Amino acid sequence: KAIAPLSQTAETSVKPDQLTPVYVGDAEHVAWTVDMHLDAQERPVAVFSVQVNGSSTQHLRSATGMDLRYFYARYDGARWHTNPLAHAGTELYGVESDYSGLAAIVPHRPERVFISTNADPVSGRPLVSSTDGRRHHEIFSGLTADGGATWGWTPVTRNSSADNLRPIVPIGDRLGTVVMWLRGTMRTYRDYDFEIVGYVEGRTFTEDDLRSGDQLARVAAACRQLHQGPRFVNDFDMFAI
């Protein structure tokens, strides 16, 4: 509901300290909003990041932004419940010490999230790729069964040769959970080399699935549509992927 008219000047009838606090930070715990959706009861669920110990290391430019954390908050209709979610790793680049890889709540299933981090979500251990020996941001899927108090994690990417950043999950579940993110290098918010990647979660059809309803006809139509399109830019062997 509306709480006040939108102000077009520096003056407003509602001050920040008049609103309900979700997380109370300080100079050593600087919060940054990331994502928010409504659950089935139309109650807000949010993810935000926190830079830890940033103030005490400001005199050391190389030391700020080295410990970012994600938090998960949900409103139960009476009060907010805020819990640690995961280690978010380090800043994306030097002059923006609050910039994390970001996270996304699954809109139709808010007990599930996707995060980008270059640290183990639980231990905070740096994620060093066995592919190139460098530290990269990877995508993880997280699931909670107790309202966000504890989380289980599954890697979506691992041992990458580039960073995987800023996951998003479009609203709608007709095709299952669709996850997209940026893969590449981010030097600043205006200087980057990215490709957009993602996947649609699903399962392998069985013979019974293909015999069910019009599934076989739909698969055949999809194959015809694929083969009518232009050839791929490069050749590939699906059995070698």
Per the DSSP assignment, residues forming a β-bridge with 38 are 44
Residue 84, pLDDT above cutoff 60: yes
Q: Per-residue pLDDT averaged across 35-44, rounded?
A: 95
Rounded-to-integer distance, Cα 127 and Cα 161, Å:
12
Rounded-to-integer distance, Cα 50 and Cα 67, Å:
8
Residue 63, pLDDT above cutoff 60: no
The whole-model pTM stands at 0.81
Rounded-to-integer distance, Cα 158 and Cα 139, Å:
8
Residue 57, pLDDT above cutoff 70: no
